[in-house]
Amino acid sequence: MDRNRLTMLTDFYEITMANGYFQNGLKDRITYFDMFFRRVPDGGGFAILAGIEQVIEYLQNLSFSDEDVAYLKSTRLFSDEFLAYLRDFRFTCDVWAIPEGTPVFPGEPILTVRGPAIQAQFIETMILLSINHQSLIATKANRIVRASQGRAVMEFGSRRAQGYDGAIYGARAAYIGGCAATACTICGSEMQIPVSGTMAHSWVQMFDSELEAFKAYAATYPNDCVLLVDTYDTLHSGVPNAIKAFDEVLAPLGCRPKGIRIDSGDITYLSRKARKMLDESGYSDCKIVASNSLDENIIRDMIMQGAQVDSFGVGERLITAASSPVFGGVYKLVAIENDGKIIPRIKISENVAKITNPCYKTPWRLFDKESDKAIADVITLHDEVIDESKPYLLFDPEHIWKRKLVTNFYAKRLQVPLFENGVCVYDRPSIEEIRRYCEEQLSTVWDEVKRFENPHKYYVDLSQMLWDEKQRMLCESSPAMDF
């Protein structure tokens, strides 16, 4: 899609509200919005942030074409003055975000926007769309990669993704989350992500015999030969014919096979038998690749049961995050400016989880100086500074009697500036740099937080000043709430 045309990829109420702000003299009111999420997919202990690059691209190309304005005029909902404003639209907001690849936790501001009401409100849909999708897939990919215990994971999901953008940006997110390669070719040419792929069952079926198919493939790719061995019968046909092809084609050329792939059946059992056959034939260096509707739970069980698999190709359950397919990030107004003074705003709900944290804020991460492990995250008012020279008192925002005095720590601001007055000021890292950064940041997370089931709760606390302000607003807004 033409990125310049993504301006209209927005919920229609963003435009009706924009017109309303314009008509009521609020178009230039300075507002503050936070994006955050409420729950980690799959009951995990953390999520992996991704999608910031696409937010930047969108904001850099944010403008209304003549066709956009003509369409909006055809709805007969908007004034000529408002349409003229859109023709001359220029993005002027300030934007801060946590860098891609960072482990993030519920409730903390992933991205913050400060700017005129119309602009800051309008960009909600694309911010949520980009970050929700890619963070979901990066988080799922990381679970699968951790389950593989050092074995490479290839993303094989393009044909099962929800649309071509789902395939492309899903592959990008999966690579950030730790996958070693993708089968999506455009991601190699456009994003420099390593690509991987061999053959389908149709290759084998195209020839008169399985052995003929294997020998033809080995002759075509002698230095990169991986054969799919489960088209007919893995142990009685596929593996024996693969070994014959290795002997008759590769050996005379002085080449070694890269591997075989098993795509069906009881892969744990088949891989053990195949490993024995390959070893006895002199191909102990031939790797075994497994695919076929895998996810972190199946991979973990396979390894526990002794599967002889060297790498995994994971498709539909990764690219769709099938077991928990919604990330659930939201974008909420947290403050406005009036004559230069920042005035907090809060959303209150009978559902406690939906009560927002008001104010213009800064998220921090506290690290233990001895281990460099993350202790907790703290959200403060924007102008607060955490003094590393003094003990810092952490307390659970919901159960305030749960307290911990932290010493010998250092504090790091999590957000970095992306835009100042609508101009991108962020030095955008390469996909390889993001992936390495993700791996480095994951090393600061305790293993207990990485558990797949019942992970240790990592706390995202509020500073005392922010907690006090939130309580003040709650009491003033709901003096006599029924219960």
Q: Are residues 419 and 336 in the same domain?
A: yes
- For residue 354, what are the contacts with CB-CB under 8 A and spacing of at least 6? 38, 347
For the segment 282-340, what is each residue's pLDDT rounded down to a tens digit?
Answer: 999 999 999 999 999 999 999 999 999 999 999 999 999 999 999 999 999 999 999 99
Q: Which position has the token pair 């939201």?
A: 330
Q: Are residues 53 and 107 in the same domain?
A: yes
For the segment 333-364, what is each residue's pLDDT rounded down to a tens digit?
Answer: 999 999 999 999 999 988 888 999 999 999 99
Strand pairing category for 226-228 and 341-344: unpaired
Q: Are residues 285 and 338 in the same domain?
A: no
In a domain, 425, yes or no: yes
The per-residue pLDDT for 1 is 47
End-to-end CA distance of the chain: 51
Q: Are residues 396 and 473 in the same domain?
A: yes
Helix axes 52-60, 124-147, angle to 10 degrees: 160
With contact defined as beta carbons under 8 Å apart, do 48 and 139 qualify? yes
In a domain, 157, yes or no: no
With contact defined as beta carbons under 8 Å apart, do 308 and 279 qualify? no
The per-residue pLDDT for 350 is 86
* pLDDT at 418 exceeding the cut of 90: yes
Q: Can you tell me the mean pLDDT for 385-402?
A: 93
Q: What is the CATH number of the domain that holds 61?
A: 3.20.140.10
Q: Are residues 364 and 419 in the same domain?
A: yes
DSSP state of 10: S
The per-residue pLDDT for 446 is 97
How far apart CA 163 and CA 171 sit, in angstroms, is 12
Torsion of CA 184, 186, 187, 193, to 10 degrees: 90
In a domain, 317, yes or no: no
How far apart CA 17 and CA 296 sit, in angstroms, is 43
Q: Are residues 335 and 472 in the same domain?
A: yes
Q: Which of 292, 314, 340 is the last residue of a domain?
A: 292
The 3-state DSSP class for residue 420 equals strand
Q: How many CB atoms lie within 10 A of CB 325?
A: 12
Q: Are residues 11 and 122 in the same domain?
A: yes
The per-residue pLDDT for 477 is 80
For the segment 230-263, what is each residue's pLDDT rounded down to a tens digit?
Answer: 999 999 999 999 999 999 999 999 999 999 999 9
Taking the CA atoms of 116, 119, 121 and 127 in sequence, report the sign of the dihedral they define.
Answer: negative
Quote the percentage of the chain above a pLDDT of 70. 98
How far apart CA 212 and CA 206 sit, in angstroms, is 10
In a domain, 303, yes or no: no
In a domain, 310, yes or no: no
Q: Are residues 266 and 351 in the same domain?
A: no
For residue 367, what is the enclosing H or E element?
strand 361-368
Q: What is the CATH number of the domain that holds 231?
A: 3.20.20.70
In a domain, 49, yes or no: yes
Q: Are residues 262 and 356 in the same domain?
A: no
The 3-state DSSP class for residue 66 equals helix
Q: Which of 270, 292, 314 is the last residue of a domain?
A: 292
Q: Which position has the token pair 């005029």?
A: 73
In a domain, 148, yes or no: no
Q: Are residues 130 and 222 in the same domain?
A: no
Q: Which domain holds residue 250?
A: 198-292
Mean pLDDT of the chain: 96
Q: Number of structural domains, the chain? A: 2
Q: Which of 238, 273, 292 is the last residue of a domain?
A: 292
Helices (H), ranges, 24-123:
52-60, 66-74, 80-87, 117-122
Q: Is residue 478 very low, low, confident or very high in pLDDT (cuts 50, 70, 90)?
A: low
In a domain, 190, yes or no: no
Q: Are residues 469 and 359 in the same domain?
A: yes
The 3-state DSSP class for residue 386 equals coil
Q: How many CB atoms lie within 10 A of CB 478?
A: 12
Q: Are residues 412 and 333 in the same domain?
A: yes
